[in-house]
Amino acid sequence: MKSKVIVLIVVFIVLVAVAKVIVLGQAFMRVTGLTPVTVVKLLFNGGTQLRELEGRTNILLLGIGGGTHEGSDLTDTMIVLSILPLQHTMAMISLPRDLWSDTLRDKINSAYHYGGFVLAKSTVEDVIGMPIHYAFLVDFSGFQKIIDLVGGVYVNVTTAFTDSEFPVAGRENDLCGGDPTLACRYEAIHFEKGEQLMNGNRALQYVRSRHAEGNEGSDFARSKRQQDVLVALKAKLTDPRVWLSPRLPVLVRALDDATDTDLNISELATVGKLTVQVPGGSIKKISFEDFLITPPSWQYDGKYVLVPKEDGSSIQQFIKAQL
């Protein structure tokens, strides 16, 4: 009799354990989107089904300065990655951070600050006239470490430029010993024309420079530089040698620490697989700078902003024609 009781207890414990494993497994699949079927599809097919409209999936890429300084969550970078999974084609649509939003009554780069992914996505939808299905955030304070861990990125600098007012990290509130020009808060940086290997710090300077002389000081030139560095980083991250490196665990942790997204793991893996299949040279880069003007600042609370020359529909029509 005693042995039967022990057997029953053991069976009960096993059943409870199995039940817990099933429940935890179901919870894991709900959160990550990874099911046995999805894993098989990732290995032998395209992956999980992404949200889309007419076969196109749009992902908003956001870049913030990070850290603790004022405006650390304003988005310096706003790019829409538009993917046609079945055709294995991809486009990058750059949005200038100074573009005015009538809905926000502020620049579009403040949307994430005010309302996170939800407001940022809806604000950009109003600009491009297409749904934004997902968002992916990169904290530039961790961006530098990622590039260093992959051994730097090769970037072709198309136009040489000098920025004499690049901000020095950590000196945002430095009084510079009473210097009225606050010169100690800035340093001069210069980039020669041509392809060059950039480490994390150099790449960060390249994508964040805002006070270069001539056209390179514009929001549009900066957006193009950001696109170029992202494509270069994508090339490094898809290099098998990077994933066979002994530094892989550190790289994975750095990627996790520097990013945030509303894609689940299954969707993220699917997007990653799609980006690997698209050659960097075939990614279409779209900018609509010719459709924008700079109005008098007094009309917009004294701020430097950009607004459409005509109305937003002309920008939306141009983007759709380029895709």
Question: What's the pLDDT tens digit per position in 76-127?
Answer: 889 999 999 888 889 999 999 899 999 999 999 999 999 999 999 999 999 9
Provide the greatest CA pair distance for the chain: 92
The list of the chain residues with pLDDT below 70 reads 1-46, 66-71, 280
**For residues 97 and 79, what is the distance between their CA atoms, to the nearest angstrom?**
10
196 burial via Cβ count (<10 Å: 0-12, 13-18, 19+): middle
pLDDT of residue 68: 57
Question: What's the pLDDT tens digit per position in 190-223?
Answer: 999 999 999 999 998 998 888 888 888 887 888 8
Helix (H, G, I), strand (E, B) or coil at 143: helix
**For residues 222 and 302, what is the distance between their CA atoms, to the nearest angstrom?**
23
Listed in order, strand segments (DSSP E) in 127-193 are: 134-139, 153-157, 161-167, 186-191
Residue type present at position 146? I
pLDDT of residue 60: 95
pLDDT of residue 52: 92
pLDDT of residue 42: 44
pLDDT of residue 108: 95
**For residues 313 and 3, what is the distance between their CA atoms, to the nearest angstrom?**
79
4 contacts: CB under 8 Å, gap ≥ 6: none
pLDDT of residue 207: 87
**For residues 150 and 275, what is the distance between their CA atoms, to the nearest angstrom?**
18
pLDDT of residue 240: 82
pLDDT of residue 20: 40
289 contacts: CB under 8 Å, gap ≥ 6: 96, 218, 219, 220
**For residues 318 and 323, what is the distance between their CA atoms, to the nearest angstrom?**
9
pLDDT of residue 70: 61
Residue type present at position 263? L
Whole-structure pTM value: 0.78
Write out the DSSP string of 97-112.
Answer: TTBEETTTTEEGGGHH
CB 152 within 8 A of CB 237: no
Residue type present at position 188? A
